[in-house]
Amino acid sequence: ALYGATAGEAYFRGMAAERFCVRNSGARTVVEGVGDHGLEYMTGGRVVILGPTGRNLAAGMSGGVAFVYAPDRDVLRLNCNLELVELEAVESAEDIAELKELIQKHADYTGSTVATGLLESWEQSLSQFVKVMPRDYKRALAELAAEPEVAVATD
């Protein structure tokens, strides 16, 4: 599902098969688990995974961000292809707000008991999420943020 997606939002109650969001370049989505090769070659967008992941997660992922519910970080680390990405805590106010918004929409649109359970114990649930962040994308975002704004004269 969402192979090569460029925009929009999608919410999937249940687990996706292999190759979920391969080449996603702009869609925002929530799913309750993915098979092997999820997020492969992803270049943009946001993905929230509320359950297990298969092998080779994020292989070739160069952009976008994923949030994975991972009570057992060791399992995620084993399943994730760490060649281009880092696994981070979800800490910024912006990330937390976006993650909660997407999970709330998932609960509202699908009636997901998984999403509802996570929201009911939000503080505990939040500590179990991991941010999957491509290294080069993170560096590019930091460089953009550090650039001074250029004033444009208007007549």
pLDDT of residue 62: 97
Query: What mean pLDDT value characterizes the chain?
Result: 95
Is residue 154 scored above 70 in pLDDT? no
The answer to whether 53 and 80 have CB atoms below 8 angstroms apart is: yes
Name 6's Cβ contacts closer than 8 Å, sequence gap at least 6. 25, 26, 27
Residue range 36-41: mean pLDDT, rounded: 98
Q: What is the pLDDT of residues 84-107, one digit of tens each?
A: 999 999 999 999 999 999 999 999
Is residue 153 scored above 80 in pLDDT? no
CATH of domain 9-136: 2.160.20.60
Burial (Cβ within 10 Å: 0-12, 13-18, ≥19) of residue 123: exposed
All structural domains of the chain with their residue ranges: 9-136
pLDDT of residue 147: 82
The alpha carbon of residue 26 and the mean position of all alpha carbons in its chain are separated, in whole angstroms, by: 11
- Beta partners for residue 65, in sequence order: 46
